[in-house]
Amino acid sequence: MVQSDDPLIGVIEAGGTWVRVGVGRTWQQVRDAPHDAIATGEPAETLRATCALLRRLAGSESLAGVGVASFGPLDLARGVIGPSTPKLAWRGVDWRAELASRLGDVALGVDTDTDAAALAEARWGAGLGRSVVAYLTVGTGIGGGLVVDGRVVHGRGHPEMGHMRVPREPGDHFAGSCEAHGDCLEGLASGAAIAARYAGASADSLGPAHRVWSLEAGYLASAVSNVLSVAAAQVVILGGGVMGASGLLGRVRATLVERVHGYLDFAGSPGELSEVPQAPGLKGRAGLVGAFALARAALSDGVDEPGRTLGAGG
Ligand SMILES: [Zn+2]
């Protein structure tokens, strides 16, 4: 239930092409309200336009907190975009300093777009009610986050599940498209890898009978199997544009059951195991809703409010 005394929160989801911006008092408002987007250009102009848009959406009110779900890699302790991002102009951009200089005294929560989406899906989406939830986004690149008991797992930094190694599918001789590794998961199964394999073809231009989908199902099933083996996740949510391909989730599920081969006792029956990979519950809004969760956590000085944020009621 929306309460007028809930603080107004600004949300930013910064991707390689668009920066999406919204405001809301509850996660449901952020999910449901129309949001605005501006093109991701040079950092100075993009950040200026982003903050101007936030102020316009807030109207006469002041924002109590702002959450940022940013493309990475990201130095989580400082909120700084890392040196290995392919977006050269954005290397070293300091989200906290940039937003503080433009917006003044607001609580800031910053994490990767993947971690934010994982958090939102775990709390309010397809992972609701589960304690160990993994989220993989399969788009131009591949990223992954892990949420345990309502918190995103950070160790030395944020996980880089897109760069896990997976065994090659039989007969696949594609070198792989990852600049660092060649044939890691991202190099074999991302949207960029599909385009590199098939001369610029986009995932949705290749028909459902195309060989690419059996390769995708194989690589993604291996990835889900790896995540299960490492984290015993109850749900592995598969999002991102590539997963929009008709029938792909079903093929991943069937292939996963073959790959696990009856071994993971905790996964249950083949039918239960096939339910581990799930479509996102928040659709394309997980990043923005996750940014809301980051801001609320920052407002609480890093202390979550489980009674408010973990329940379905928000
Ligand atoms: Zn890689």
Residue 76 Cα to ligand 1 middle (Å): 20
CATH number, domain containing residue 231:
3.30.420.40
Dump pLDDT digits (tens) for 249-258: 999 999 999 9
Residue 141 Cα to ligand 1 middle (Å): 9
Closest-CA residue to 160 (of 179, 171, 145, 170): 145
Q: Assess whether 142 and 34 both reside in one domain.
A: no
Q: Which residues of 17-26 are buried (b: 16+ CB within 10 A; e: fewer)?
A: eebbbbbbbb
pTM of the model: 0.92
Dump pLDDT digits (tens) for 147-182: 999 999 999 999 999 999 999 999 999 999 999 999
Residue 165 Cα to ligand 1 middle (Å): 8
Q: Domain span at residue 161?
A: 129-278
Residue 198 Cα to ligand 1 middle (Å): 19
Q: Does residue 121 sit within a domain?
A: no
Q: Assess whether 58 and 96 both reside in one domain.
A: yes
Q: Assess whether 147 and 36 both reside in one domain.
A: no
Q: Residue 301 — very low, low, confident or very high, per pLDDT cuts 50/70/90?
A: low
Closest-CA residue to 124 (of 28, 231, 33): 28
Q: Assess whether 190 and 271 both reside in one domain.
A: yes
DSSP three-state, residue 24: strand
Residue 86 Cα to ligand 1 middle (Å): 12
Q: Assess whether 73 and 163 both reside in one domain.
A: no
Q: Does residue 174 sit within a domain?
A: yes
Dump pLDDT digits (tens) for 179-217: 999 999 999 999 999 999 998 777 778 888 899 999 999
Q: Does residue 1 sit within a domain?
A: no
Residue 174 Cα to ligand 1 middle (Å): 14
Residue 64 Cα to ligand 1 middle (Å): 38
Q: Assess whether 136 and 271 both reside in one domain.
A: yes
Rounded CA-CA distance 19/61 in Å is: 22
Answer whether 94's CB lies under 8 Å from 74's CB. Answer: no
Domain count, the chain: 2
